[in-house]
Structure 1
Amino acid sequence: MTSANRNLLKYLVALLAILAVATIGFVFYRSVYLPRSVLAMLPTPDLDDLEEQVAGEIRNRRIAVEKNLDSAEEWGRLGMVLDIHNFKQESIPCYKRAAALNPNEFRWSYYGAIVLNETVSPDAFEWFERSNKLKPDYAPLQVHYGQALLNAGHFEEAEKTFKRVVSLLPESSHGYLGLGKIALARGNLQESRQHLTKALDLDPNHREVHGVLADVLRRLGKSEESAKELQIANQLPKVARLKDPVYEELVAEGKSAVWYRDRGFNFLAQGMVDEAIEEFLMAMRLRPDPDGYNHIGNLLSRKGQPDEAISYYQTAISLAPNNVISYNDLGEALLNSGRPDEAIAWFEKCFRVSPKFPDSYLNLSAIYLLADRSADAISTLRKGVRSTMGFIPISVRLAWLVATTPNQELRNGAEAMILAKTACQKTEYSDPKILDVLAAGYAEAGQFDNAIQTARNAYQLAQSSHKEELAKQIKLRLSLYLAGKPFHTVE
């Protein structure tokens, strides 16, 4: 063998040795070091206080990741189940790993952007931009991004983003709400009002819009209009859901009783009562509570199924024996099932447990009136007025009865005037129905001039508020007062 051949052989041996070492190193990196480093990224949330089905789902998703460390789907789904059960920080590394393995999957960057924004991370904007490149025409993304920009004080960028929402989703109130908030932040109150009014044209039940508009009106010095908007806002659901099919996939991962109830309320907001009941039933199987069973009973009652509702009210009472709301609702269901005597017993039990609970007085008096027991109805309402410190609906019903009952022995014009006048004062003489009752009280007491003037005021208010049937009835009673006659109901 020549010297040259020997050198070549040495070179080849050395090269093979290097390749062997490299291969061993690569195999070690892939099989030992990389899995260890990747596994170190796996979050370890405290599952001790979770409902078992939730803890089990998180454990199963974690095992799936351990078996498929290169699967973006498994990492992302682990992030989803952590995210939706309020392990926000723990979900972030999962979304980041999923996005690194599959950078073209919109869900991982979108969910990551939202949770980073919720945890006030400065990385949120980078992730919103990444999502925007993947799906620039997805309107819910623009809503979230616009709100994040607005919160950070980037008004110009936020304005462009919300204008894009309006162009992509013209039927949604969220874009105009965003524009209204930006105008408010800039001090442009009239412009803000215009945007918010447009938002309410699109969705009259958007609570946040009413709340922001109340603030705008207050700053404009329109205190009465502001108070009205605030009152409306307080009666509406806290969240006006944005139609977001991608995020709904995340919401569907919720396995806790809380999430079943949340989805139930979501179905309810869409008028899907049967679907809502199924979600509430699942929540009760996981975590029974009296309010939940009572709510199911109310939904069945709303559907005209009082017999089915009764058992749920009874279950609610078994869990909370002194819950007067359940007593009252059960009484109503029994009444609607044609069992008035049983209903009366439950309404009376309300008095004994909670004398200040107003609905039971109204319901029991209604039963007595249906049974032509006016004296019992009046007695019940008088107890209600004393116990509830003059609760307006009780006072008004009692005033009407003692002013208009056909039983002369039960009529009391002076009492009717006092009750109705107090109710009018509490409502600032703005309710035409209460004014109508006050007019009837004046007439029964023989004060026809006051009855005529009050009835005319009630008629004008009823007309201006488009209550045509009430206006018609007031006009008929007014004709009696003009003739010097009180109004009495017919037996």
Structure 2
Amino acid sequence: MSTSKLLSVYLTLVLLLAGGAPVLAQEAAPTETPAAEPAEEAAPAADVAADDSAVEDGDAVDEEEPGEGDDAAAMEEAEPTEDGAVEDKASEGEAADEKPAANPAEPEDPENPGAAELNRAIELKLDADDLQDLNEVVDLLDEGLSKGLDPENSDFAEEMLVATLLQRAASFSQVVLSQPIADPRRDPRWIQIRQYALTDLQRVVALDPKQSQAWLLLGRLQSLPLGSSSEARRALTQVIRLAEEAANDPEAETPEPTAIAQAYALRGAAQKDGASRLEDFNKAIELDPEKEEYLLLRAQAHRADGDGKACLADIEKAIETAPENPKAYELKALALLMLDRQEEALEAFNKASELAPELLTPYQYRSELLSQQGKVDEAIAELDKSLKLQPNNLASLLIRAQLLSENEEYEKALQDVESILKQQPALVRAHQMKAQLLNQLGRTDEAVAMLEKLIGIDPNLTELQLQLLGIYTEKQMAPEAIELATKILEAAEAAGENGASESSDLVRRLRGDMYLYAGDHEEAIADFEKALEKNPNEPGVLNNYAWTLATSPYASVRDGKKAVELATKAAEVTEYAAPHILSTLAASYAEAGDFEQAVKRAEEAIAKADELKTLDDYDGQLEAELQCYKSGEPWRELQKLDVAGPASEADKEIAEAEKSADDKPMTTEPKANAPTPPATIDDTPARSIDF
């Protein structure tokens, strides 16, 4: 049998898993999609590679190249045995001719019933060169120990079992560590092989807790995605403790400084608090100062702590050691951005792309930076380049779709979103973007239908509910908006939020606006009151509340004095710079009977709108309000009937309109000259009502 057979099986595993460089992974939990957003979540931070010094040469696989032709077959036929190993069925026929057979005539030693199995294991171990051999050695040793051996042979068998398990685990680990994978859940083979390694290593440390190499491999495997950071810290702490004990014991074998350094670096990556993380990275660098990966890990820790200068200093040292590492330049660019050195950051991103043109993240980061500088076309061009490299990359598609939307290229943005949904049909963010784009393209009915359908499938999708509420509000679909807002608030209250969350505050504010639009002024005031309890200085709520108290046609609602108080506060918060709030202040003074102040504030509203070049947006209403106050009348408004004007005229019109409105439902279609409420509460509309 070829001595390269064992290596052949493992290299087959590597090839099937599309092998790469081993990674010194930081703590990582499973996620939906990297970088769905264009900032640090949108693209991965600098990865840091580590060597395989933890796997001793004698314990790992052969360095000989595998033979061609039989590797794939070996992997295809490999399957787990009862103890969790992988059985190499491809070599069974060959092994039958070469492996030593038991001697049926060999007498059983009554003091060592398992001696025959031990002897066969020893003979087989001497020539073991494939998984089948290693599996059988483990089985024979387990069987021999189970039958019984005298103390001396039992100790020897356990030592041999530890060595064999460690050899097998090291080989499995080599496969896993040579294939870093962002989401192992997409490749069950990777998970399975990692579990084989963990099972063997856990047996090793149970049999011999002083096996430093086994603890280090355990720590490395637990540091990978789907691993346990607490188990990683425990295993790596054992490596460090054994090294400290060995340093004080002349007869003990001291691990190599590079292995101890790796244990510190890995444990640092798994630490929860920044101080412990830095302490471990410092120790790793002290033990292995030439390892640029440890410098980059410490640089990342400095970056997480907000220390841009220390981060940059470590990166510069790492680049001195490894000037061709593209991830070092990428991390350097991020550090420079922390220091607001944008042009230098662009140069560093460019260097990363020069060294590794196939690396996507520099294009994504560069795109984000350019978009922040207002260079949207250039930012889109960077994403075009990244998508040529990986046409289906979700992060690039999401970022480009957002930028295309900002550039008002809605059709192109929608194409990107459709591509995303083909890959990830359940990605909520993509559905949100699609609805937004459909609405921007004037296909509001499609957007509403899509959102209503998705919410019907999963009523707990709060993000989609809020988006649908925003469309209802924008299109002044008052009944639908009020019903949905009420459902959201009731669900929040049932969940224990008690209206305290930011989203609940916004929903209550929007429901109040829709009550106002629908003419349900008492309900609107109730929502405005509650909204102000949480945000007493919110100018939009103050404005709409004051406008309701000042202009409602219902005497039971109006309160001029309180309207002046609220409108004055809104004007102060906005530094008397918002025309629509000055208009509300004027209406409040008019309702309070102070027409001199009403005229003054109405004139200020017109002057401010003229200064801001927004006077035409008010469609003559500000001028009409001024004339109303000059004639000594307050202003009245009932939006649901599209009635607004001086009290004497409006009251008659409202009375007549309400009579005729009793026989027909209120339209939910927006008026041709109706204000367009913004998506957020910070913007202002083109009239006194602040949607």
TM-score computed with the length of structure 1 as normaliser: 0.50
Higher RCO (C-alpha under 8 Å, 6+ residues apart): 2
TM-score computed with the length of structure 2 as normaliser: 0.36
More helix by share: 1
Which is greater in Rg? 2
